[in-house]
């Protein structure tokens, strides 16, 4: 049986309650759960701290369990059900059974249920944010932001549920009418990463449920608690059994569970957020039975500062775009391209802002803006990018090494004299490293920015209106920030071009990813 401990949300020292408690395991009495599962919980968030899988509206233990660790300290937070292929298949069957009735639920009713789910997230936002910080290390203030962002997808798609339209087409045949129906695709398999453990789920699931699909969610090994807390709230909101299912699993089982989900004949749609490498594997699985796919993959965002830019605005944008979630967002700026006339001033001001405003520490500490990286492998990648750049001639302006706070922490780092042949110019770092390349002309900047096989987000700073049009149109990315470092919003389409993915999430376009277009030729009129 999976167990959980130490996550507490209601005590005097609220911000520090969660992590210290994890070190001192003091189990409270266990409770029986509806459906026969028994979960032992030890904190006041027991309702939200679930450790079993959630399938067909029931909490189900698995034969094995895997530990979830606090990335700030390495300490175990809890043991979670380690689902394998049989559990994945059972979850798909439950979702398929539920689809047969959920697709017929009125759009108004689907909308009301999604809205209730949203309201419950807002009511529980403090506990949900603490869960995110505990399992991902993200500073608590950012975790609060993620919960609002995450809940807003449910709200947005509760509204979009009532705006699914078809068409009537008049053709040259006078005795016919051609109708276009929009119908839910069916069961969607949803595979999500650890860097936004809540929002990456609701951005998909909100759209899927609004469209009339049902889902099986496989969250990342590092962050299953957020997905399970969402299940608890979905259940409380009255989302029918089998509509939202969660099957956590350990990294050692991710491959087989992923394959089982992506090849199951009862699954119609695969929606994945994660690395481009994993996305390619899932696309191969999907090809076998020609399933619909949405892929939100990695990026290598350029951040261009032209001579005409307002340098203070550019530095503020650079700080926001680079260091959110300690540099672990897919839209994080990965390469800073700065025109030669403004280069030295930008580098100076950027370094000053980093030294003044970035504070490394445990995400539960008030002052922390930079939490740990997710694991040792992530730290090693940042270290490798820094040492490769320095060995090829880059200069460390600030930072440059592991942070003394702990093994998963890295100093916010600024490098200048960076060139295109360095790893940090070519690969997503996914950490607190800002490499600056100097350029001469607009054409050169565009060429460097577009010299990538991915294209998720891109940013640039300029006060020249003609340049703004030119550059916005030429950047080969799915999303552009002009004089703006934070661009995500539920109302706007999120997604990339090239190997950054397929499809869009959020916005009015997001729901289309879960709807089939059916043409009905109505003759004999
Ligand atoms: P990842 O290794 O691809 O993992 C993402 C998810 O896929 C996790 O649930 C993981 O499970 C699972 N997984 C891994 N290998 C699998 C396989 N062979 N079959 C089935 N599932 C598999 O990505 P990550 O390193 O966690 O996340 C960071 C990446 O995600 C970055 O590249 C980032 O840019 C990208 N990202 C993109 C977006 C976007 O919207 N475009 C948003 C956020 C992140 P385990 O956790 O158990 O390994």
Is the CB–ligand 1 distance for residue 135 below 6 Å?
no
Backbone phi, then psi, for 466, in 5-degree steps?
-70, -40
Strand ranges across the sheet with 187-191 = 58-60, 53-55, 244-246, 214-218, 187-191, 267-273, 292-296, 501-502
pLDDT at 46: 64
According to DSSP, residue 239 is labeled P
Q: In the structure encoding, which two tokens stand for residue 237, read together?
A: 């909101």
pLDDT at 32: 34
d(CA 502, CA 313): 32
Is residue 47 very low, low, confident or very high in pLDDT (cuts 50, 70, 90)?
A: confident
Distance from Cα 273 to the centre of ligand 1, integer Å = 6
State the pairing for strand pair 292-296/501-502. antiparallel
d(CA 378, CA 275): 13
> How far is CA 348 from each of CA 148, 194, 397, 422, 440, rounded to the nearest angstrom?
34, 33, 9, 22, 19
Distance from Cα 352 to the centre of ligand 1, integer Å = 34
Is residue 9 very low, low, confident or very high in pLDDT (cuts 50, 70, 90)?
A: very low
Which residues neighbour 418 within 8 Å (Cβ) at sequence distance 6 or greater?
Answer: 335, 389, 394, 424, 425, 435, 436, 437
Whether pLDDT at 225 is above 90: yes
Is the CB–ligand 1 distance for residue 87 below 6 Å?
no
Distance from Cα 101 to the centre of ligand 1, integer Å = 31
Percent of the residues in the chain that have a pLDDT greater than 70, as a whole number? 91
Q: Which of 275, 285, 291, 426 to mutate to test the pocket of ligand 1 (most atoms within 8 A of CB)?
A: 275
CA atoms within 13 A on the CB side of 74: 7
Is the CB–ligand 1 distance for residue 251 below 6 Å?
yes
Is the CB–ligand 1 distance for residue 64 below 6 Å?
no
Q: Round the CA-based radius of gyration of the chain to a whole number and report it.
A: 24
Is residue 13 very low, low, confident or very high in pLDDT (cuts 50, 70, 90)?
A: very low
CA atoms within 13 A on the CB side of 289: 14
Is the CB–ligand 1 distance for residue 375 below 6 Å?
no
Nearest to 128 by CA among 205, 25, 50, 23: 50
Distance from Cα 397 to the centre of ligand 1, integer Å = 31
To the nearest 10 degrees (0 to 180), the angle between helices 251-263 and 85-102 is: 40
pLDDT at 45: 52
Distance from Cα 31 to the centre of ligand 1, integer Å = 34
Residue carrying structure tokens 């944008």? 317
According to DSSP, residue 240 is labeled P
Distance from Cα 193 to the centre of ligand 1, integer Å = 5
- Which residue numbers are catalytic? 296, 330
Ligand 1 atom at minimal distance to the Cα of residue 428: 32
State the alpha helices, DSSP H only, in 326-441: 340-357, 376-391, 423-426
Q: Which of 85, 132, 193, 271 to mutate to test the pocket of ligand 1 (most atoms within 8 A of CB)?
A: 193
Q: Which amino acid residue places its CA nearest to atom 17 of ligand 1?
A: 255
Is the CB–ligand 1 distance for residue 255 below 6 Å?
yes
pLDDT at 28: 32
Ligand 1 atom at minimal distance to the Cα of residue 219: 9
Average per-residue pLDDT for the chain:
92
Percent of the residues in the chain that have a pLDDT greater than 90, as a whole number? 91
∠ CA 451-453-455 to the nearest 5 degrees? 90
**H/E run at residue 269:** strand 267-273
d(CA 256, CA 82): 12
Distance from Cα 426 to the centre of ligand 1, integer Å = 19
Is the CB–ligand 1 distance for residue 330 below 6 Å?
yes
State the pairing for strand pair 292-296/267-273. parallel
Q: Which amino acid residue places its CA nearest to atom 42 of ligand 1?
A: 330
According to DSSP, residue 512 is labeled G
Q: In the structure encoding, which two tokens stand for residue 87, read together?
A: 């559990």
Residue carrying structure tokens 């959920």? 102
d(CA 104, CA 247): 25
Distance from Cα 23 to the centre of ligand 1, integer Å = 29
Quick one: 173 exposed, middle or buried, by C-beta within 10 A (0-12, 13-18, 19+)? exposed
State the alpha helices, DSSP H only, in 161-265: 199-211, 224-237, 251-263
Is the CB–ligand 1 distance for residue 195 below 6 Å?
yes
Is the CB–ligand 1 distance for residue 281 below 6 Å?
yes
Is the Cα torsion angle 21, 24, 29, 34 positive or negative in sign? positive
Query: Could you report how far apart the first and last alpha carbons of the chain are, in Å?
Result: 63
> How far is CA 340 from each of CA 295, 303, 438, 468, rounded to the nearest angstrom?
37, 15, 6, 18
Is residue 2 very low, low, confident or very high in pLDDT (cuts 50, 70, 90)?
A: very low
Is residue 23 very low, low, confident or very high in pLDDT (cuts 50, 70, 90)?
A: very low
Q: Which of 26-30, 128-132, 358-362, 414-418 has the lowest mean pLDDT?
A: 26-30
- pLDDT, one tens digit per residue, over 476-494 is 999 999 999 999 999 999 9
Nearest to 140 by CA among 354, 332, 365: 365
Is the CB–ligand 1 distance for residue 283 below 6 Å?
no
pTM greater than 0.75? yes
d(CA 129, CA 146): 8
pLDDT at 210: 98
CA atoms within 13 A on the CB side of 186: 14
List the beta bridge partners of residue 187. Answer: 214, 267
d(CA 331, CA 130): 24
Q: Which of 260, 278, 332 to mutate to test the pocket of ligand 1 (most atoms within 8 A of CB)?
A: 278
Ligand 1 atom at minimal distance to the Cα of residue 505: 40
Residue carrying structure tokens 């706007």? 492
């Amino acid at each position: 049986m999976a167990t959980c401990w130490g996550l507490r949300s209601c005590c005097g020292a609220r911000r520090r309650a969660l992590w210290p408690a994890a070190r001192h395991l003091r189990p409270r009495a266990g409770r029986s759960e509806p459906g026969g599962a028994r979960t032992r919980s030890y904190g006041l968030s027991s309702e939200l701290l679930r450790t079993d899988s959630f399938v067909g509206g029931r909490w189900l233990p698995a034969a094995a369990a895997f530990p979830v660790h606090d990335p700030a300290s390495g300490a175990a937070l809890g043991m979670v059900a380690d689902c394998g292929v049989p559990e994945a298949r059972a979850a798909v069957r439950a979702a398929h059974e539920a689809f047969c009735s959920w697709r017929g639920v009125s759009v108004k009713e689907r909308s009301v249920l999604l809205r209730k789910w949203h309201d419950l997230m807002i009511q529980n936002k403090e506990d949900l944010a603490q869960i995110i910080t505990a399992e991902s290390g993200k500073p608590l203030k950012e975790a609060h932001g993620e919960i609002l962002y995450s809940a807003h997808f449910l709200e947005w798609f509760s509204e979009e549920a009532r705006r699914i339209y078809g068409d009537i087409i008049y053709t040259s045949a006078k005795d016919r009418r051609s109708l276009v129906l929009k119908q839910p695709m069916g069961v969607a398999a949803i595979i999500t990463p650890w860097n936004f453990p809540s929002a990456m789920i609701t951005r998909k699931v909100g759209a899927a449920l609004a469209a009339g699909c049902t889902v099986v969610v496989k969250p990342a090994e590092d962050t299953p608690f957020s997905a399970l807390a969402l299940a608890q709230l979905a259940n409380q909101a009255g989302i029918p059994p089998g509509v939202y299912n969660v099957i956590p699993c350990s990294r050692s089982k991710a491959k087989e569970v992923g394959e089982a989900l992506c090849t199951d004949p009862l699954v119609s749609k695969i929606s994945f957020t994660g690395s481009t490498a994993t996305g390619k594997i899932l696309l191969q699985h999907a090809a076998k039975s020609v399933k619909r796919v949405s892929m939100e993959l990695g990026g290598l965002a350029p951040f261009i500062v032209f001579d005409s830019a307002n340098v203070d605005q550019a530095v503020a944008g650079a700080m926001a775009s680079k260091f959110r979630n300690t540099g672990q967002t897919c839209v994080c700026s990965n390469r800073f391209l700065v025109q030669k006339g403004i280069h030295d001033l930008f580098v100076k001001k950027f370094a000053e802002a980093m030294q003044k405003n970035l504070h490394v520490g445990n995400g539960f500490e008030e002052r922390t803006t930079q939490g740990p990286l997710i694991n040792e492998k992530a730290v090693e990648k940042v270290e490798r990018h820094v040492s490769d750049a320095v060995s090829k001639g880059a200069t460390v302006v600030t930072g440059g090494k592991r942070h003394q706070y702990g093994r998963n922490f890295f100093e916010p780092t600024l490098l200048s004299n960076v060139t295109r042949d360095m790893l940090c110019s070519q690969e997503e770092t996914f950490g607190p490293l800002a490499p600056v390349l100097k350029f001469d002309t607009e054409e050169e900047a565009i060429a460097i920015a577009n010299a990538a096989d991915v294209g998720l987000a891109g940013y640039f700073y300029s006060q020249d209106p003609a340049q703004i049009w030119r550059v916005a149109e030429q950047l080969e990315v799915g999303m552009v920030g002009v004089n703006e470092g934070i661009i995500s919003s539920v109302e706007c389409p999120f997604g990339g071009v090239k190997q950054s993915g397929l499809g869009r999430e959020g916005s009015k376009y997001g729901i289309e990813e879960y709807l089939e277009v059916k043409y009905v030729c109505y003759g004999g009129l």
